[in-house]
Amino acid sequence: MAREKPPCLPSLLLPLLTLLLPQADTRSFVVDRDNDRFLLDGVPFRYVSGSLHYFRVPRVLWADRLFKMRLSGLNAVQFYVPWNYHEPQPGVYNFNGSRDLIAFLNEAAIADLLVILRPGPYICAEWEMGGLPSWLLRNPKIHLRSSDPDFLAAVDSWFKVLLPKIYPWLYHNGGNIISIQVENEYGSYKACDFSYMRHLAGLFRALLGDKILLFTTDGPQGLKCGSLQGLYTTIDFGPADNMTKIFTLLRKYEPHGPLVNSEYYTGWLDYWGQNHSTRSILSVTKGLENMLKLGASVNMYMFHGGTNFGYWNGADEKGRFLPITTSYDYDAPISEAGDPTPKFFALRNVISKFQKVPLGPLPPPSSKMMLGPLTLHLDGDLLDFLDFLCPHGPIRSILPMTFEAVKQDHGFMLYRTYLTQTIFEPTPFWVPNNGVHDRAYVMVDGVFQGVLERNMRHKLLLTGKLGAKLDILLENMGRLSFGSNSSDFKGVLEPPILGQTILTQWMMFPLKIDNFVKWWFPLQLPKTSRPQFPSGPTFYSTTFPILGLVGDTFLYLPGWTKGQVWINGFNLGRYWTKQGPQQTLYVPRPLLFSSGILNIIILLELEKVPPQPEVQFLDKPILNSSIHKTYIDSPEPMVLSGH
């Protein structure tokens, strides 16, 4: 009989390793309704989480921000997935670079953070159109966030791409996603369409299975329409609100299980033209400690706010149109530039009373840089560059068309027509039914006449000769992201009127400014004679080297009015120095070139240039201009905007 071969070492170790390693099928995150708590792998568990949005932070800085969150004592990170960030056109998906969702999940795992995922489809988040893609509005009759078959078809198509990507990252599959939110504060929306919510819940279950915990989040007034049987109900409120009263209300919808505040507000958002918002350290820490004493699980919104780069800010409508600022600092525990604030250390101290906080020193604040002032040089009016900005030429129509109708999602579009008669006396020019969405810069034969603005400025007085060229540069300032919005179309929504004449025969030029900026160097820019202090939409630029150490910095534009800024081809976002409260734009260090390589800064000033066309780079932000008072905690509960 042949001798048996002795088993090899790997085969002996394999069963042992199998016993020692946590297995995917033994991993679980469930609600223990008998004891009003969560169980993680069968052990009582409470999360203390913070919100961070990967789409508001450059990818190279994700690890830094997550590491600091973990060092604060947090054991989870909560974040949204903006549909419009990943599906820019129907059926065209982007998960590369700063949109690499899987890479962000991996960074969270490396930082030892569990994940609470909020994939929408609607997210609010003060983000353009609440995360819904604007191409949905190419169907002008669509009913968003409802069981409208056209909307559901688009949602189903998106989630059949997204949810299989995250399936391996569910906790019971060995990943770090412990729970997933369905929709977002749906009770604050007018539709109250339970068929829609049931459809979403069924879709999530079909694509993700029965083991993952699905939940809803609503403000106190939204629980009636936002909660759904089979989904765990959570609530959101801030430090100024009555915790006992709100958690008592929550118990009417979720009698058993852990109390959860999914959005505990550490600060608040800013609108252009209103006050800079802050929340006191004492009120935020006191509220957190009171919730943790009750055994509640809490997510702090925001823990690090980040920036609305490019055109990605959203807007609210509260009696008038209120666009969100470029900075999303939020007075959060980690500043817009990624630095721990005094609020961070105070919250860390509270958390340490309830669970273990990682040992070790925090990284120091990032190095900051000052530079300038730098003088910018006039490159020309926007109209001079029209062939470059719209290389395919205009779209012609008897009546003006919306951004959505011509497939222009963001930014700017130029409307052009010609006067059919001479206008000798100053004559009212206006767009009926508040039809400017959102801001119109009006020119006659290239001469700037003034601004029309949604809800605010409705009329200009014009003169002009027969055949004079009438141009309207239309700025989309961000689609409504919360509450009553159904379809926030952009552009000139009604035919403009001059005196008694309805103006027709329009040309629409969808402007591709971001593409143009990337090719700025090779172009032979047209030069013509200019007035000493130009007004109206105008390009300025300069180049500058950085000879010393490069650091994070804040671009300050004293005396400039309103516009858009690009550095080295990257769209930093909107400035509105005249309106405030934000006066500086955050410039992350990775955007800048070192070692004397030339950096280029380009401004599109939309209204009026200062006598000295200069900018500076500061080592501190200015988020609360002196013309606006800072909004501080009051004893009254805040009116929730929703997220």
Record the tokens describing residue 318, joined without a space: 């509260």
Query: For residues 500 and 509, what is the distance between their CA atoms, to the nearest angstrom?
Result: 26
Asked if residues 611 and 362 have their Cβ atoms less than 8 Å apart, the reply is: no
| Alpha helices (H) along 215-335 | 223-226, 243-253, 281-293
Helices (H) and strands (E) in the chain, counts: 12, 34
Q: Tokens 């006050």 identify what position? A: 275
Asked if residues 394 and 429 have their Cβ atoms less than 8 Å apart, the reply is: no
Q: Which residue is catalytic, options 87, 126, 128, 185?
A: 185
Question: Which residue from 119, 117, 121 is spatially nearest to 47, judged by alpha carbons?
Answer: 117
Q: Which residue is catalytic, options 128, 263, 336, 607?
A: 263
Query: For residues 595 and 546, what is the distance between their CA atoms, to the nearest angstrom?
Result: 7
The 8-class DSSP code of residue 629 comes to: P
Of the CA atoms within 13 Å of residue 103, those in its CB half-sphere come to 14
Q: Tokens 């497939």 identify what position? A: 407
Distances (CA, A) of 24 to 60, 484, 498: 30, 43, 69
Asked if residues 180 and 205 have their Cβ atoms less than 8 Å apart, the reply is: no
Query: For residues 183 and 185, what is the distance between their CA atoms, to the nearest angstrom?
Result: 7
Residue 25's pLDDT is 63
Q: What stretch of H or E contains 52?
A: strand 48-52
Q: How far apart are the first and last CA of the chain?
A: 75
Residue numbers of the chain with a pLDDT score lower than 50? 1-22, 522-523, 628-641
Q: Give the 3-state secondary structure of residue 199.
A: helix
Of the CA atoms within 13 Å of residue 611, those in its CB half-sphere come to 0
Query: For residues 279 and 239, what is the distance between their CA atoms, to the nearest angstrom?
Result: 8
Residue 633's pLDDT is 40
| Residue 263 designated active-site | yes
Beta strands in 230-376 (DSSP E): 232-237, 260-265, 297-304, 315-317, 321-323, 371-375
Asked if residues 513 and 564 have their Cβ atoms less than 8 Å apart, the reply is: yes
Of the CA atoms within 13 Å of residue 248, those in its CB half-sphere come to 5
**Contacts with 122 (C-beta within 8 Å, 6 or more apart), sequence order:** 130, 131, 132, 144, 145, 183, 184, 186, 189
Q: Give the 3-state secondary structure of residue 446.
A: coil
Strand duo 29-32 + 37-40: pairing: antiparallel
Residue 360's pLDDT is 81
Q: Which amino acid is at 510?
A: P
Asked if residues 449 and 423 have their Cβ atoms less than 8 Å apart, the reply is: no
Residue 532's pLDDT is 58
**Contacts with 254 (C-beta within 8 Å, 6 or more apart), sequence order:** 227, 232, 233, 234
Residue 99's pLDDT is 98
Question: Which residue from 454, 622, 466, 610 is spatially nearest to 553, judged by alpha carbons?
Answer: 622
The 8-class DSSP code of residue 106 comes to: H
| Residue 185 designated active-site | yes
Residue 528's pLDDT is 54
Residue 519's pLDDT is 82
Query: For residues 140 and 500, what is the distance between their CA atoms, to the nearest angstrom?
Result: 29
Residue 7's pLDDT is 42
Query: For residues 354 and 45, what is the distance between their CA atoms, to the nearest angstrom?
Result: 12
Residue 483's pLDDT is 60
Residue 470's pLDDT is 98
65-113 pLDDT per residue, tens? 999 999 999 999 999 999 999 999 999 999 999 999 999 999 999 999 9
Distances (CA, A) of 491 to 180, 413, 439, 596: 36, 8, 9, 42
Give Dmax (Cα) for the chain: 116
Q: What radius of gyration do the chain's Cα atoms show?
A: 27
Phi, psi of 510 (to 5 degrees): -70, 120
Residue 169's pLDDT is 98
The model carries a pTM of 0.93
Q: Which residues of 502-528 are buried (b: 16+ CB within 10 A; e: fewer)?
A: ebeebbbbbbbbbebbeebeeeeeeee
The β-bridge partners of 216 are 233
Asked if residues 138 and 407 have their Cβ atoms less than 8 Å apart, the reply is: yes
